[in-house]
Amino acid sequence: MYDKTDSIGAYGGAAMPSGAPVTGTNSKPQLDQEPGWKSEFRRTLEEIKDKGFGAYADEIHERKMEELREKILASMGLSESDLEHMSPEQRNQLEKMVALEIQKRLAAEDALDANADTSQAAVGNLADQVRAAPNGLGTGVLLMQELDQAEAQLMQPVPEKKDETG
C-alpha cells in the first residue's frame, strides 16, 4: 500500500538521482549569496578605507617583495631558517646576491612594461596616420607602407664575418 505521509519518497524519490543524499524538505537554494570575488573586493575596499591608499599600496609592495625574496631563496635551495643558521659573512653575501637578483627582476619587469608602452605608442601613431588620411583613401596605402618597412627590415642581409685565422 502507498504511504501518504512519505512525501519525499512519493514525489521526489523518482526525480532524485539514486546516489543523491536527501537533506530534508526545508533546504532551499541560496540565491542571495554574494559571489566570492565580490566579497573579496568588498574586504579589500574596506581595508583600503581603514589604512588609506598609500599605506595599502606600501603593504602590497612589501608583500610582493617578500614573496619575490622567498622565490629567489627557494631557487637557491635555501629558506629563512637556513639563513639564520649561517655565519654573518655568509648571510651578508647571500643577502647581497638576493638583493641584486631582485633588482634584476624588477629592472626586467620595467623594461617589459616600457617595451609594451612603446609598441602601443607605435600602434597609436599608425592609427593617427590612418585617421588623418583624407576620406579613408590612404588607409590601405599606409598599411602597405608599414608592411613593406617591416618586410624590408626582416630581409636585410646579415654581414658575414671575415675569416681571420689565416
DSSP state of 77: T
93-151: per-residue pLDDT in tens?
A: 988 998 998 888 888 888 888 777 666 666 566 666 666 665 555 556 666 677 777 77
Given a cut of 70, is residue 10 above it in pLDDT?
A: no
38-77: per-residue pLDDT in tens?
A: 888 889 899 999 999 899 999 999 999 999 999 988 988 9
Question: Is 94 in contact with 83 (CB distance < 8 Å)?
Answer: yes
Residue with cell string 602597405 = 144
Residue with cell string 533546504 = 27
Q: Which of 124, 113, 77, 129 is nearest to 98 (CA)?
A: 77
Q: How far is Cα 154 from Cα 151, in angstroms, rounded to an integer?
A: 5
Prediction pTM value:
0.46
11-37: per-residue pLDDT in tens?
A: 554 444 454 455 555 666 666 677 778
CB atoms within 10 A of CB 71: 13
